């Protein structure tokens, strides 16, 4: 009997008769025989039911019960209702998603695991490379239908099988599969093909590519576009521009967003970037975009539930689900960062995996160099209400504690209706480009849908107190009472005042430090009886001062009276005040950081705790981190979210 008939026993019919076993002779009557307990054979786990949504039932040993997460063994059957769906995961990392109104039975033969699908559709995804898992049954998956079978190999692939009353439809999204009809006809179907399996055999055809309209919008700054064959660049209209094959887009500053009609996938071209849209089309549940990225950086947010293929000069990127990629054009190729989601790099006939949290450098025909992405200098934990003050911050890491594969979603709104990133992650963080002004919300889920962590943070430019300090001019009146000025950050500007004197052309102020009347620390003259002294001239301490009215001849009209003034440093600042480094200053191997922190707060700079003096001032040196160089201040206070201030250096 052929291997095919062994697999499709119900279809092949004839089997050799098995002779009945010969019963053993009874034991002698004089000897009493005690029954021997035979342990039940332990069921071998073939797969695991990883997630269950809506109505789903498990049939095991002839008994039905609601389907729940857990192991699946030989003979187990799962049936989904009109609103139900389940996900099955195998030991090698491959998954099978089962849709509504479907039924399958899990079996096993000499070639591996068999999933017998009697109705409904299933979507099988095989990772480009299979992680090494615990020892278990060989995973060579066969999808068995009433019309034949589909063998899903061990290489990266994605195939959708839809079983109807008269036909089994096999749509190959990625890779290559083998389709076998009941009459023995065998066909290899490749990506972009659909196979129709009926009682009479298999027919294949290429999925028809339907053109997809692409609209470009200016995200931030100014974006321009140019029609094919034209030399004129035009600004992108506020309502967007519809692009045709051969049209170009470039960005001088800011970003340009390219949206695909009928898909949640979006492309974002960064500042200094330029690309040509060669063709965007759709075949079934697969989106394909052919682009010539001539320079700059292109962000790809690929939709979940669809297969995506992005074709660049000499390199194709394939994904069978949600992913967030950053592609940069280099002098001899590309670098590809997978911030979230697993993709496959395709060059010619070579296929190389790129996992979430990895960077691939592709140059010439050499094998891609793959390395792990590092955390950004600013790493935010998954907590609520954090604040980040920054300008020109290139990226931030959103982190969580649990190890292992998870699904991450990042959005700019609390309802997650404005997605920024989605896909798989494994390293406990994802890197995201933060908004100049706005918020990020993120949630991390296990593969079964349970929540691991949530967090959010607001972003905006640093609130400068410089203007307020410059405008602050403490008025110090002449008189017997001592004037006390409390200051924060640096000593403020002071205005000395007196009553107007008839005949005075000017007023001269002299300020002395108490006990040192030989030499004034400051002298100023003004035409009005309000004499200003700029900020920072008087330091903390006690002073004596006098104001003298002066006649047009230059002679004093009267002598000045001595008045008392005291400047006291007040460390009850409500926010962190940073005097150095300045935003945009040139970085060296080390930079000095100075300022003052609020009372009852703790401060760290680039992850290192900073000592505060008795008045909560700090003055130390740190090593800048990242490219461009960053100095990250983290302010922590009891019962309050952390506040981060980032200074970007040159």
Find the mean pLDDT for residues 276-290.
85
If asked whether residues 170 and 250 sit together in one domain, one would say no
SS3 content of the chain, % helix, strand, coil (to 5): 0, 55, 45
Would you say residue 171 has pLDDT above 90?
A: no
Residue 480 lies in a domain: yes
Residue 68 lies in a domain: yes
Would you say residue 207 has pLDDT above 80?
A: no
| Torsion 385-389-391-395 (CA) sign | negative
Would you say residue 11 has pLDDT above 80?
A: no
Residue 13: exposure state from Cβ atoms within 10 A (0-12, 13-18, ≥19): exposed
Cα–Cα distance, 323 to 340 (Å, whole number): 5
pLDDT band at 10 (very low <50, low <70, confident <90, very high): very low
If asked whether residues 114 and 233 sit together in one domain, one would say no
Q: Write down which residue in 206, 231, 257 finishes a domain.
A: 206
If asked whether residues 396 and 318 sit together in one domain, one would say no
Q: Write down which residue in 342, 372, 402 finishes a domain.
A: 372
CA 499 to chain centre: 65
pLDDT band at 256 (very low <50, low <70, confident <90, very high): very high
Cα–Cα distance, 181 to 69 (Å, whole number): 33
How much of the chain exceeds pLDDT 90, in percent? 50
Domain range for 147 is 44-206
316's tokens:
């194709």
If asked whether residues 256 and 153 sit together in one domain, one would say no
Please give the DSSP secondary-structure letter assigned to residue 449.
Answer: S
If asked whether residues 82 and 184 sit together in one domain, one would say yes
pLDDT band at 32 (very low <50, low <70, confident <90, very high): very low
Q: How many domains does the chain have?
A: 5
Query: Which pLDDT score, from 0 to 100, does residue 644 have?
Result: 96
Cα–Cα distance, 434 to 454 (Å, whole number): 17
Query: Which pLDDT score, from 0 to 100, does residue 301 have?
Result: 94
pLDDT band at 160 (very low <50, low <70, confident <90, very high): confident
CATH assignment of the domain containing 350: 2.60.120.1440
If asked whether residues 297 and 386 sit together in one domain, one would say no
Closest CA to 615 of 569, 567, 566, 568: 569
pLDDT band at 349 (very low <50, low <70, confident <90, very high): low
CATH assignment of the domain containing 627: 2.60.40
229's tokens:
């064959």
If asked whether residues 451 and 470 sit together in one domain, one would say no
If asked whether residues 228 and 363 sit together in one domain, one would say yes
Q: Write down which residue in 437, 460, 483 finishes a domain.
A: 460
Residue 20 lies in a domain: no
Q: Poorest-confidence range of 117-121, 247-251, 281-285, 630-634?
A: 281-285
Query: Which pLDDT score, from 0 to 100, does residue 20 have?
Result: 44
Q: What is the CB-side half-sphere exposure of residue 255 using CA atoms within 13 A?
A: 16
Would you say residue 8 has pLDDT above 70?
A: no
If asked whether residues 409 and 488 sit together in one domain, one would say no
Range among 139-148, 156-165, 202-211, 604-613 rated most confident: 604-613
Per residue in 370-398, pLDDT tens? 999 999 999 999 999 999 999 888 899 99
Contacts of 40 (CB under 8 A, 6+ apart): none
Residue 78 lies in a domain: yes
Query: Which pLDDT score, from 0 to 100, does residue 139 have?
Result: 65
Helix, strand or coil, per DSSP, at residue 266: strand
Find the mean pLDDT for residues 161-183.
86
Would you say residue 325 has pLDDT above 60?
A: yes
Cα–Cα distance, 344 to 337 (Å, whole number): 12
Q: Poorest-confidence range of 6-10, 77-81, 568-572, 576-580?
A: 6-10
Closest CA to 84 of 111, 58, 59: 58
Query: Which pLDDT score, from 0 to 100, does residue 41 have?
Result: 52
Total residue count of the chain as it appears in this document: 650
One-character DSSP codes across 69-115: SEEEETT-EEEE-TT-EEEEE-TTS-EEEE-SS-EEEEEEETTEEEE
Cα–Cα distances in angstroms (integers) from residue 51 to residues 56, 70, 95, 130, 179, in the given order: 10, 9, 11, 21, 28
If asked whether residues 416 and 475 sit together in one domain, one would say no
Cα–Cα distance, 354 to 361 (Å, whole number): 11
Is the pTM above the cut of 0.85?
A: no
Per residue in 80-96, pLDDT tens? 998 888 999 888 778 88
Cα–Cα distance, 510 to 496 (Å, whole number): 10
Query: Facing residues of 28 across strands?
Result: none
476's tokens:
């110090």
Would you say residue 510 has pLDDT above 70?
A: yes
CATH assignment of the domain containing 518: 2.60.40.2550
Mean pLDDT of the chain: 85
If asked whether residues 634 and 529 sit together in one domain, one would say no
CB 181 within 8 A of CB 202: yes
Please give the DSSP secondary-structure letter assigned to residue 363.
Answer: E
One-character DSSP codes across 137-162: S----EEEETTEEEEE-SSSEEEEEE
Residue 6 lies in a domain: no
**Three-point CA angle 450, 453, 459, nearest 5°:** 140
Q: Poorest-confidence range of 166-170, 191-195, 313-317, 533-537?
A: 191-195
Would you say residue 447 has pLDDT above 90?
A: no
Buried b (16+ CB within 10 A) or exposed e, 152-189: bebbbbbbbbbbeeeebbbbbbbbbbebbbbeeeebeb
Residue 87 lies in a domain: yes
Q: Poorest-confidence range of 12-16, 36-40, 43-47, 304-308?
A: 12-16
One-character DSSP codes across 270-328: -TT-EEEEEEEEEETTEEEEEEEEEESEEEEEEPTTSEEEEEETTEEEEESS-EEEEEE
Residue 22 lies in a domain: no
Per residue in 464-506, pLDDT tens? 655 444 444 688 888 888 888 877 667 888 999 999 999 999 9
Question: Mapped to the 3 state alphabet, what secondary structure does 487-546 carry?
Answer: ECCCCCEEEEECCCCCCCCEEEEEEEECCECCCCCEEEEECCCEEEECCCCCCCEEEEEE
If asked whether residues 333 and 229 sit together in one domain, one would say yes
Find the mean pLDDT for residues 607-636.
92
CATH assignment of the domain containing 441: 2.60.40.3110
Residue 630 lies in a domain: yes
């Amino acid at each position: 009997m052929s291997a095919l008939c062994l697999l499709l026993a119900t279809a092949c019919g004839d089997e050799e008769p098995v002779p009945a076993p010969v019963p053993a002779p009874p034991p002698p009557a004089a000897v009493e025989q005690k029954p021997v307990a035979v342990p039940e054979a332990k069921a071998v786990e073939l797969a695991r039911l990883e997630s269950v949504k809506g109505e789903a039932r498990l049939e095991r040993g002839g008994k039905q019960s609601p389907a729940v997460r857990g192991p699946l063994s030989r003979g187990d059957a799962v049936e989904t209702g009109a609103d139900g769906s389940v996900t099955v995961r195998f030991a090698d990392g491959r998954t099978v998603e089962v849709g509504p109104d479907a039924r399958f039975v899990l079996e096993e033969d000499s070639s591996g695991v068999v999933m017998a699908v009697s109705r409904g559709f299933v979507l099988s995804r095989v990772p480009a490379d299979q992680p090494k898992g615990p020892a278990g049954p060989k995973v060579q998956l066969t999808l068995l239908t009433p019309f034949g079978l589909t063998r899903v190999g061990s290489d990266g692939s994605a195939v959708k099988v839809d079983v109807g009353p008269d036909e089994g439809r096999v749509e190959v999204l990625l890779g290559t599969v083998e389709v076998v009809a009941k009459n023995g006809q065998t066909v290899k179907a490749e990506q972009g093909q659909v196979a129709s399996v009926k009682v009479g055999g298999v027919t294949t055809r290429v999925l028809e590519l339907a053109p997809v309209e692409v609209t470009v919008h200016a995200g931030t700054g100014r974006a321009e576009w140019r029609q094919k064959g034209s030399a004129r660049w035009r600004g992108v209209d506020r309502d967007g521009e519809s692009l045709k094959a051969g049209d170009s887009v470039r960005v001088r500053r800011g970003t340009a967003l390219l949206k695909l009609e009928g898909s949640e996938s979006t492309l974002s071209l960064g500042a200094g970037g330029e690309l040509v849209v060669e063709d965007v089309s759709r075949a079934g549940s697969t989106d394909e975009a052919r682009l010539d990225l001539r320079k700059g950086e292109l962000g790809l947010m690929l939709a979940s539930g669809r297969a995506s293929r992005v074709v660049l000069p000499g390199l194709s990127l394939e994904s069978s689900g949600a992913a967030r990629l950053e592609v940069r054009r280099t002098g001899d190729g590309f670098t590809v960062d997978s911030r979230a989601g697993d993709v496959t790099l395709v060059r010619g006939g070579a296929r190389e995996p790129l996992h979430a949290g990895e960077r691939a450098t592709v140059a010439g025909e050499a094998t891609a160099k793959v390395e792990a992405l590092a955390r950004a200098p600013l790493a935010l934990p998954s907590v609520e209400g954090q604040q980040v003050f920054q300008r020109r911050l290139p990226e931030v890491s959103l982190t969580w504690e649990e190890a292992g594969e998870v699904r991450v979603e990042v959005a700019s709104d609390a309802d997650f209706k404005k997605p920024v990133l989605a896909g798989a992650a494994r390293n406990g963080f994802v890197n995201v480009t933060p908004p100049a002004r706005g918020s990020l919300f993120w949630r991390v889920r296990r593969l079964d849908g349970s929540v691991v962590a949530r967090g959010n943070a607001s972003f905006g430019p640093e609130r400068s107190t410089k203007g307020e300090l410059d405008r602050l001019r403490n008025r110090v009146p002449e008189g017997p009472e001592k004037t006390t000025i409390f200051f924060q950050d640096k000593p403020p500007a002071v205005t000395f005042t007196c009553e107007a004197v008839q005949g005075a052309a000017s007023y001269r102020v002299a300020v002395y430090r108490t006990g040192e009347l030989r030499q004034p620390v400051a002298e100023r003259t003004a035409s009005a009886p309000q004499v200003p002294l700029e900020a920072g001239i008087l330091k903390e301490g006690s002073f004596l001062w006098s104001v003298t009215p002066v006649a047009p001849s230059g002679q004093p009209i009267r002598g000045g009276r001595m008045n008392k003034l005291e400047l006291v440093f007040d460390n009850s600042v409500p926010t962190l005040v940073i005097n150095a480094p300045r935003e945009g200053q040139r970085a060296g191997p080390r930079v000095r950081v100075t300022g003052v922190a609020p009372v009852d707060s703790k401060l760290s700079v680039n992850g290192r705790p900073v000592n505060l003096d008795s008045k909560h001032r700090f003055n130390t040196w740190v090593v800048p981190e990242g490219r461009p160089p960053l100095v990250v201040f983290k302010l922590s206070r009891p019962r309050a979210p952390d506040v981060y201030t980032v200074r970007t250096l040159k």
